[in-house]
Amino acid sequence: MDGAAVLASIQVGKPREAGTEGAADPFDRPWVSGFWKETAAGPVDLRWTNLDGDGQADLVNHGGVDKAVCCYSAAHYPGWRSELGRPDMAFGAFGENFTIDGLVEPDVCIGDTFRVGTAVVQVSQPRQPCWKLARRWRIKELTFLVQDSGRTGWYFRVLTEGVVQTGEPLTLVDRPHPDWTIARANQVMHHDKADLASAAALAALPTLSASWKTTLHNRIAKGIEADATRRLEGRGASG
């Protein structure tokens, strides 16, 4: 990891309803999401499971101790704005709580522990983007593009509650698994599915999230894993 990492922006938001019953366009039908985030101007309390003022609509797949803070790299925004023709994509456009300057997926490792403000956080897993990202921006293929590009972001769990504020540095205090970057974990999970040895090595990391461990153990033991269709497309989901 080269240079200093800085908390460029903080976003929080509670779930809300959108859409119209019976709309012809699926993008306009009712759904509930905490995807819309507003910039937090001042200091924010960071708790065990989320930031004050934040919430998730789908508590099965989002939130909890392993996914307390969703992070995304500020470095990805210029590329997405250009590629998608959406210059209006501001920080928080990917539903993240922390937009971080100075870190990208090849620089961040599972288990990395950072001090930010008075809090201490730890990387638990890559972010797995869901269908709500595509729906928010009305770009059907966006969730697939994010996953395939490897520009996914990642999650923090909270080791020490505290107060965080935009502009504060993220100071790396521990790196127990330097060989397991977010980029490599994404490759194993989404692309190299036949590489069971790497899947086993990733699953063995004590700091990896429980949900990723379960998926990888199922892949190894039974050759099955949870169907990603619902996460990526929202198939069978009402929102």
Map tokens 């929202």 to a residue.
Answer: 234
Q: Please tell me the pTM assigned to this model.
A: 0.88
150 compared with 229, residue with greater pLDDT:
150
84 burial (CB, 10 Å; 0-12 / 13-18 / 19+) is: middle
Residue whose C-alpha is closest to residue 143's, from 235, 31, 211, 223:
235
Distance CA 157, CA 64 (A): 9
Lowest mean pLDDT among 154-158, 163-167, 195-199, 224-228: 224-228
pLDDT at residue number 31: 60
pLDDT (tens digit per residue) in 117-139: 999 999 999 999 888 888 888 89
| Interacting residues of 146 by C-beta distance below 8 A, sequence separation 6+ | 94, 129, 133, 152
Quickly name the fold that domain 5-176 has: M1 Pyruvate Kinase; Domain 3 (2.40.33)
Residue 67 has pLDDT above 90, yes or no: yes
